[in-house]
């Protein structure tokens, strides 16, 4: 990735496609059944149906499920990139949570890693992949993560504790040691998530032991600006290596709306610790990425009163600074490490799509 694409000194001043400041979305996901278990999508559809029924709307559950599934067929991220282009999002953290201990997944973890490497190659310069792990995966999980870093050039570690573990579980220490070795950030989910999972593992304070024991590793509290905000901002204010993102911001439970909520957050003095993010495409049913990004234009209510340098830190500078700390693993500085051969075009994914595997 070029210096211009990566921004100037991590402050978000690099030129976007139209000469505007860069925008980096710190949390997106592949909208595909290859990456998200069908059981989770079925739960999402059931939740939508329950909400509609509560307001007296009669919609067949099968119709809602068909609509949800139709929005999750973007196997190669072509639709995602088109939405990013339309919204003016230059780069994104493409997160790959590990759901394998909690639900049946279509692809094995090695297959899914190779698939995301393929997606990143298909859209060069757009994605920084954060590979998901589970502490119960044993030595195989550790070896796969190191391969993702050294062969695929993935940019960080993704944790999804709601699958049944603490983000400070000592079994994660080998992964954090790899992150320390290569200068990689860790993005951990906080707050609620997919319905069948255990929300008790969503507290930001559960991360404190790991943040304390690995001061050289940067941690990002996913959705930390939306749920458990007091805990998240407390950690960000007092742990130099803890940050938060605002993904899912438009769904915040605030009586005066998400814009006022975020504006208060941005005025707490930790703008250097906050990353813009959307969690797209989770909200394709009700929102547009362009609309969400546009709500942070200079002078808009969410960023009212902020100086332009602060807004640029939020929209890209903080994200670029964290991924810019990656240490070389034998490649040109700033370029993803890509020594692995290109995965076969569609073999694994096509086989799973057609029910052959």
Q: Tell me the average pLDDT across 82-107.
A: 96
- Mean pLDDT for the chain? 89
Distance CA 251, CA 320 (A): 25
How far is residue 9 from each of residues 12, 25, 100, 275, measured CA to CA in Å? 8, 18, 38, 16
195 pLDDT exceeds 90? no
pTM of the model: 0.88
Window from 5-9, 123-127, 255-259 with minimum mean pLDDT = 5-9
Task: Give the pLDDT confidence of 227-245 residue by residue, as tens digits.
Answer: 999 999 999 999 999 999 9
Contacts of 16 (CB under 8 A, 6+ apart): 22, 23, 88, 90
Do residues 28 and 97 make contact, with C-beta atoms less than 8 angstroms apart?
no
Contacts of 169 (CB under 8 A, 6+ apart): 135
347 pLDDT exceeds 60? no
Do residues 111 and 32 make contact, with C-beta atoms less than 8 angstroms apart?
no
Q: Which two tokens stand for residue 14?
A: 């690099």
Task: Give the pLDDT confidence of 46-71 residue by residue, as tens digits.
Answer: 888 888 889 998 888 889 999 889 99
Contacts of 238 (CB under 8 A, 6+ apart): none
Sign of the alpha-carbon torsion through 116, 92, 38, 200: positive
Write the DSSP assignment of 252-274 as a string of letters: ---TT-HHHHHHHHHTSS-GGGE
Half-sphere exposure of 278 (CA within 13 A, CB side): 30
């Amino acid at each position: 990735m070029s210096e211009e694409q990566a921004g100037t000194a991590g402050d978000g001043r690099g030129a976007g496609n139209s000469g505007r400041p860069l925008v980096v979305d710190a949390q997106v996901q592949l909208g595909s059944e290859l990456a998200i278990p069908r059981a989770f999508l079925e739960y999402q559809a059931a939740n939508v149906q329950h909400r509609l029924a509560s307001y007296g709307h009669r919609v067949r559950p099968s119709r809602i499920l068909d609509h949800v599934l139709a929005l999750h067929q973007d196997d190669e991220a072509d639709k995602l990139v088109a939405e990013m282009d339309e919204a003016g999002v230059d780069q994104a953290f493409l997160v790959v949570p590990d759901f394998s201990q909690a639900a049946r997944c279509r692809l094995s973890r090695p297959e899914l890693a190779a698939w995301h490497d393929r997606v990143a190659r298909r859209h060069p310069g757009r994605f920084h992949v954060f590979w998901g792990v589970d502490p119960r995966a044993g030595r195989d999980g550790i070896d796969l993560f190191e391969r993702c870093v050294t062969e695929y050039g993935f940019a960080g570690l993704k944790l999804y504790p709601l699958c049944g573990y603490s983000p400070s579980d000592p079994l994660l220490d080998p992964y954090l040691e790899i992150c320390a070795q290569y200068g990689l950030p860790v993005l951990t989910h906080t707050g609620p998530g997919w319905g069948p999972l255990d929300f008790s593992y969503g507290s930001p304070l559960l991360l404190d032991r790991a943040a304390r024991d690995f001061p050289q590793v940067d941690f990002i509290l996913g959705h930390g600006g939306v749920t458990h905000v007091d805990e998240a901002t407390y950690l960000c204010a007092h742990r130099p290596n803890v940050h938060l993102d605002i993904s899912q911001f438009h769904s915040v439970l605030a009586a005066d709306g998400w814009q006022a909520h975020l504006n208060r957050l941005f005025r707490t003095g930790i703008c250097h610790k906050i990353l813009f993010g959307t969690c797209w495409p989770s909200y394709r049913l009700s929102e547009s990425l362009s609309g969400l990004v546009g709500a942070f234009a200079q002078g808009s209510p969410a960023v009212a009163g902020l100086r332009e340098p602060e807004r640029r830190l939020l929209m890209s500078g903080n994200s670029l600074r964290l991924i810019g700390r990656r240490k070389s693993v034998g490649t040109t500085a700033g370029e993803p490490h890509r020594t692995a051969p290109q995965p076969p075009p569609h073999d694994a994914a096509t086989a799973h799509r057609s029910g052959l595997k």
